[in-house]
A and B are shown apart, each in its own frame.
Chain A
Amino acid sequence: MNELIRPYVLLFALCCVSQTALAQLQAVTPTAATQTDKKIPIGFLELKTDSRYEPVRAYERLILKKPEHPFPGAQVGIEDAKSQQRAIGAEITLERMTAATAQDAPALLKAAIERGMNYVLLDVPSDTYKSLVEIAKGRDVILFNVSVPEDILRRDVCARELVHVFPSQAQMSDALVQFLVSKKWRDYLVLQGPDPYDDLITKAFTKSAQKFGARIVANQRFQPGTDPRQREKNNPALLSAINKDWDVTFIADKAFEFARQVPFQTVKPRPVVGAIGLETVAWHWTWEHNGAAQVNSRFSRYAPNRKMEGADWAAWMAVKMVATSALRSRSTEFKPIRDFMMGPGTFDADKGLAVSVRAWDHQLRQAVLLAGDYYVSASAPLEGFLHRTNELDSLGDDETDTPCHLNR
C-alpha cells in the first residue's frame, strides 16, 4: 500500500498506528472472544546443521541457491487457523525445536511427546527418520514429513505415525512424465550425475517412463569438471552427441553444478527438464489458481526476502491438516483428529483437487506442479490420465505398487 497516495489520519487511535500493514497483523491477533485455555501444540523439529540448507555455490562468493527451512510456512498455517479457534475450542500453537545434531533429535522428540505434543512437523534429512520413528512408535503422535521426497521413507520405513505431506519422488517423476507424454515427447536422453541421490532420481524417472509408455534412449553419466581428457563426461555437447534422436533432456544433478551448463549446449535443440529448465515442484510462487496467490502473499509477511517453495507449502499444509481435522471431527483429542485425517479427511491444498492421506503408505495424494522460472506450465495429473478412484492416484505409488500396507 502506498503511504504517499493514501495518507491515513488516525482520529481515535490512542497510539499512533501509521502502517496499514501493522493494522492487518493486528486484525488477526487472537481476541478476547476467541481466547481459550485449551491448546493443541504443534512442534517443528529441525537440525541445526542440515546439509540440505547449505547454500548452493558456484564458488565461494557466487551463490546460486539459498535454501531455507520451511518454518514460515508453518507460521502461515497457524495464522490461518486463528479464526477457527473459536469453532475448534482450542488454540493451535507452534513451537520450533532445533536439535544440535541428528543424534540429539530423538531425545528432543521424546521430550516433546511426553509433554503432550501430538503433532510434530519433521524438517530433517531422510537418514534421521528411522531414529525418530522408533521414538514415535505406538505413541499418540503424528510426524509430518514436510521436506523429504525420498521414496524409501514411504516404501521401506513405512510407519503408521508418519504422514508424508511433501510429495514423493515417484509422484514428482510421474507428474513430469505425464506432462511430457501429454506433449507426445516420449524419447528421453538422461544425464545422470555421480551423487547417490542422482541415482534415486534417475530410477524414479525411468520407472515413470515405463509406466506411461515413454523411453529412455540413452543414459549418460556425467562427471563435472574441465579436464579435457574427461571431455566425453563433462561436456554437454559431447554427452548429447548420441546416435539416436530424442525429444527431451532429463538431468539428475543434486549438486547443480553441471545442470546449469546444459540448457542451450546440447547438440540438438531439445528442452531440458529435471534439475533445471522445467522443474517438478510441490508449490510455485507464480501459481495463481485455487487461492494460491493469497497464500503466497500471506507467506511473504513471514518471509519477506524469498518466495514460497514446496517445503513451505508442506509445512503450511501440515498445520492446516491438524486444524481442519480438529474443526471437522469437532474434537481437540488426538484420536478423533487422527481418525479424521487418516480416514475420510479431505483438505483444501490451494492447488487443484482436494488432497487426502493414502491409507496404504500415508503419502498425501496431491497435484504436482511443472514449473519454469516464471510460469507453471502445467499441473499434474494432466487431463486424460485417469484412475479408477481418484485421478491424484495416477501419480506415485498406488496401493499395488508399494510394499507398504499400513491399511492391512
Chain B
Amino acid sequence: MKIMTALRLTGMTLGISLTAALCLSASAMAKGTGYIFVSNEKTNNIIVLESKTLKLVKDLKTSRRPRDMHFSDDHTKLYVACGDDDVIDIIDVAKLEVIGKIATGSSPEAFMVDEQKRRIYVSNEEGSSMSIIDMDQQITLAEVPTGAEPEGVWLAPDRKTVYVTSEVGDLIHHIDLEAGHVIEDVVVGTRPRRFAATPDGNELWVTTELSGEVWIIDRGPFKVLGKIEFFPPGMRKTDVTPVGITMTSDGKTAYVTLGHAAHVAVVDVPSKKTLSYILVGKRSWGITLSKDEKTLYVANGLGDDITVIDVASRKAVTSVPVGRIPYSVVIDE
C-alpha cells in the first residue's frame, strides 16, 4: 500500500492557528448561543440564524464552497470544509469570525473531528482520498487513497476505524487508522453518500442516492444487513435520491432527506419501516435535529432555503431563505 506519508506543513496557517489557540482559551467556556449555521456552496458564506426567531444574525463570509460543518467538543469553534479553496476554515463561534484555515487535499467535502487524538479525517472529493490531519500542527499526516468522489466520513467510537463512502465506486471503505489504508470494502447501492449510526455503533446506515435507498451495514463482521426503499406519495421512484440522514439519540428513529423527491422519510429503526413522509423543499440534502430532538432543519439545495420541521406533528412549520445552494445545517446548543 502506497500511503502519502509525506508530512505537509503550511507555514501560513500554523501562525494563525497558534494565535487563535491563545485567544480562544478565554472564550472556551462559552455557552450555546442557540444559533443555527447554514453553509452555502455558491455564495461562499454561512448564514447564521437565531433559532427561536429564525432572524438573521450574521452573513459570515468563508473560503469558497463551504460544505460539511462540525463543532469542537466545547462548541467554541466551528470547522467548515471549503471545497474550492482546499481548506477547512476555523470559525470562532463567539465572535462569528473565521480565525484560521487548515489545508486539506483537493476539494474537501465531509469530515469528522477526533478531539481526543487531535485529528481531522476529511474526504477529498477531487483527490479520491481521505486526509488525516493533525489539528495542532495543522499538517496532513497521511492521505489515504479511496475510490473516486469520496464523501461520507464516519469515525468509529473506538477511534481506530474510519468508514468512507465512494460515490463512484459504490463502495464503503473500512479504513484502519493504524495501518493507514483501506482494509476492506463492502458493495452497496449506487452513489453512496452519507452515514448515520445506531447509538451502540454497531449498525451503519448509508444513503445511496441514485438507487434511492438506505443500506444497513453491520460493522463486525463488515457486511450488508439489508436496505430500505422509499415511496413518497406522488413521486416516481427515480426522483427518490436520498442524501442526508440523521438518527435520534435513542436510536429509534431515523430521518432521511430524499433529494429531488422533496420529502424527508421518517424511519422506525428497529423495524426498518418507513412511518411517514414530510414535504420539504427542492433537492433536500443536509438534515439536523435540534438537541431536544423536537425540531428538524433541512437544507434545500435547489430552493436556496431551509425547511423547519416540527418533529411531533411531522409537519413543515416554515422555510427560511438562506444563501445559494445550502449544503449543511448545524446548531450551537
Residues of A bordering B, CB below 8 Å: 1, 5-13, 17, 20, 23-24, 26-29, 31-33, 79-80, 82-84, 86-87, 291, 294, 297-298, 324, 327-328, 346-348, 353-354, 391
Question: Is B166 part of the contact surface with A, judged by Cβ < 8 Å?
Answer: yes
Most B CB contacts (10 A, CB to CB) among A32, A294, A353, A391 go to: A294
The residues of B that contact A33 with a CB separation of less than 8 Å are: 1, 181-183
The residues of A that contact B183 with a CB separation of less than 8 Å are: 33
Cross-chain contact B148 with A80 (CB below 8 angstroms) = yes
The residues of B that contact A24 with a CB separation of less than 8 Å are: 105-106, 126-129
19 A–B contacts from the bound complex (CB under 8 Å): A8-B8, A10-B6, A11-B6, A12-B5, A24-B105, A28-B148, A31-B181, A32-B1, A33-B183, A79-B148, A83-B169, A291-B191, A294-B168, A298-B126, A298-B148, A327-B187, A348-B168, A348-B170, A391-B236
Nearest-CB residue, chain A, relative to B124? A24
The residues of B that contact A31 with a CB separation of less than 8 Å are: 1-2, 145, 181
Per-position 1/0 for B96-138, Cβ under 8 A of A: 0000000101100000000000000000011111000000000
The residues of A that contact B167 with a CB separation of less than 8 Å are: 291
Question: Is B94 part of the contact surface with A, judged by Cβ < 8 Å?
Answer: no
Residues A84 and B169 in contact in the complex (CB < 8 Å), given A24-B106, A31-B2, A33-B1? yes
Q: Kindly state the separation between the CA atoms of A187 and B54 in the bound complex, as whole angstroms.
A: 50
Residues A27 and B9 in contact in the complex (CB < 8 Å), given A32-B1, A294-B125, A348-B191? no
Q: Kindly state the separation between the CA atoms of A29 and B4 in the bound complex, as whole angstroms.
A: 12
Per a CB cutoff under 8 Å, which of B6, B126, B211 touches A12?
B6
Per-position 1/0 for B1-31, Cβ under 8 A of A: 1101111111110000000000000000000
Residues A328 and B187 in contact in the complex (CB < 8 Å), given A27-B4, A391-B238? yes
Residues A87 and B187 in contact in the complex (CB < 8 Å), given A23-B4, A294-B148? yes
The residues of A that contact B40 with a CB separation of less than 8 Å are: none
Q: Kindly state the separation between the CA atoms of A29 and B145 in the bound complex, as whole angstroms.
A: 8
Cross-chain contact A83 with B147 (CB below 8 angstroms) = yes
Per a CB cutoff under 8 Å, which of B86, B185, B187 touches A1?
B86
Q: Scan residues 146-192 of chain B and give those whose CB is less than 8 A from a CB of chain A.
A: 146-149, 166-171, 173, 181-187, 190-191
Min C-beta distance of A234 to chain B, whole Å:
46
Cross-chain contact A9 with B170 (CB below 8 angstroms) = no
Min C-beta distance of B63 to chain A, whole Å:
12
Q: Kindly state the separation between the CA atoms of A200 and B331 in the bound complex, as whole angstroms.
A: 59
Residues of B bordering A, CB below 8 Å: 1-2, 4-12, 86, 103, 105-106, 125-129, 143, 145-149, 166-171, 173, 181-187, 190-191, 210-211, 236, 238
Q: Kindly state the separation between the CA atoms of A24 and B8 in the bound complex, as whole angstroms.
A: 14
Min C-beta distance of A188 to chain B, whole Å:
30
Cross-chain contact B185 with A86 (CB below 8 angstroms) = yes
Cross-chain contact A297 with B210 (CB below 8 angstroms) = no
Q: Kindly state the separation between the CA atoms of A355 and B272 in the bound complex, as whole angstroms.
A: 28
The residues of A that contact B125 with a CB separation of less than 8 Å are: 294
Cross-chain contact A6 with B168 (CB below 8 angstroms) = no
Q: Kindly state the separation between the CA atoms of A10 and B7 in the bound complex, as whole angstroms.
A: 6
The residues of A that contact B181 with a CB separation of less than 8 Å are: 31, 33
Most B CB contacts (10 A, CB to CB) among A82, A346, A348, A354 go to: A348
Nearest-CB residue, chain A, relative to B8? A8
| 7 more CB-based (< 8 A) A-B contacts, given A80-B148, A291-B149 | A5-B12, A23-B6, A27-B129, A33-B1, A82-B147, A87-B169, A354-B238
Per a CB cutoff under 8 Å, which of A12, A79, A346 touches B7?
A12
The residues of A that contact B4 with a CB separation of less than 8 Å are: 23, 26-27
Most B CB contacts (10 A, CB to CB) among A5, A83, A324 go to: A83
Q: Kindly state the separation between the CA atoms of A307 and B39 in the bound complex, as whole angstroms.
A: 30
Q: Kindly state the separation between the CA atoms of A96 and B11 in the bound complex, as whole angstroms.
A: 45
Q: Kindly state the separation between the CA atoms of A23 and B148 in the bound complex, as whole angstroms.
A: 15
Cross-chain contact B143 with A11 (CB below 8 angstroms) = no
Q: Kindly state the separation between the CA atoms of A297 and B83 in the bound complex, as whole angstroms.
A: 13
Nearest-CB residue, chain A, relative to B236? A391
Per a CB cutoff under 8 Å, which of A294, A327, A354 touches B210?
A354
Min C-beta distance of B213 to chain A, whole Å:
12
The residues of A that contact B184 with a CB separation of less than 8 Å are: 86
Min C-beta distance of A155 to chain B, whole Å:
27
The residues of B that contact A83 with a CB separation of less than 8 Å are: 128, 145-148, 166, 168-169, 171, 173, 185
The residues of B that contact A17 with a CB separation of less than 8 Å are: 6
Q: Kindly state the separation between the CA atoms of A36 and B112 in the bound complex, as whole angstroms.
A: 32
Residues A7 and B1 in contact in the complex (CB < 8 Å), given A27-B128, A83-B169, A391-B238? no
Cross-chain contact A9 with B191 (CB below 8 angstroms) = no
Residues A29 and B128 in contact in the complex (CB < 8 Å), given A20-B106, A83-B145, A291-B168? no
Residues A11 and B191 in contact in the complex (CB < 8 Å), given A27-B128, A29-B2, A83-B145? no
The residues of B that contact A23 with a CB separation of less than 8 Å are: 4, 6, 143
A-B pairs with lowest CB-CB distance, top 8? A83-B147, A13-B6, A11-B7, A27-B145, A83-B169, A31-B1, A27-B129, A10-B6
Q: Kindly state the separation between the CA atoms of A327 and B167 in the bound complex, as whole angstroms.
A: 14
Residues A6 and B86 in contact in the complex (CB < 8 Å), given A24-B128, A80-B168, A83-B171? yes
Residues A11 and B9 in contact in the complex (CB < 8 Å), given A291-B149, A327-B170? yes
Per a CB cutoff under 8 Å, which of B11, B168, B238 touches A7?
B11
The residues of A that contact B128 with a CB separation of less than 8 Å are: 24, 27-28, 83
Per a CB cutoff under 8 Å, which of B8, B149, B182, B190 touches A294?
B149
Nearest-CB residue, chain B, relative to A323? B169
Nearest-CB residue, chain B, relative to A301? B126
Min C-beta distance of B260 to chain A, whole Å:
9
The residues of B that contact A29 with a CB separation of less than 8 Å are: 2, 145
Q: Kindly state the separation between the CA atoms of A33 and B7 in the bound complex, as whole angstroms.
A: 23
The residues of A that contact B146 with a CB separation of less than 8 Å are: 83
Q: Kindly state the separation between the CA atoms of A6 and B2 in the bound complex, as whole angstroms.
A: 24
Cross-chain contact B143 with A87 (CB below 8 angstroms) = no
Nearest-CB residue, chain A, relative to B186? A87
Cross-chain contact A80 with B86 (CB below 8 angstroms) = no
Q: Kindly state the separation between the CA atoms of A12 and B126 in the bound complex, as whole angstroms.
A: 24
Min C-beta distance of A404 to chain B, whole Å:
25
The residues of B that contact A9 with a CB separation of less than 8 Å are: 8-9, 11
Min C-beta distance of B198 to chain A, whole Å:
24
Q: Kindly state the separation between the CA atoms of A80 and B148 in the bound complex, as whole angstroms.
A: 6
The residues of B that contact A294 with a CB separation of less than 8 Å are: 125-126, 148-149, 168
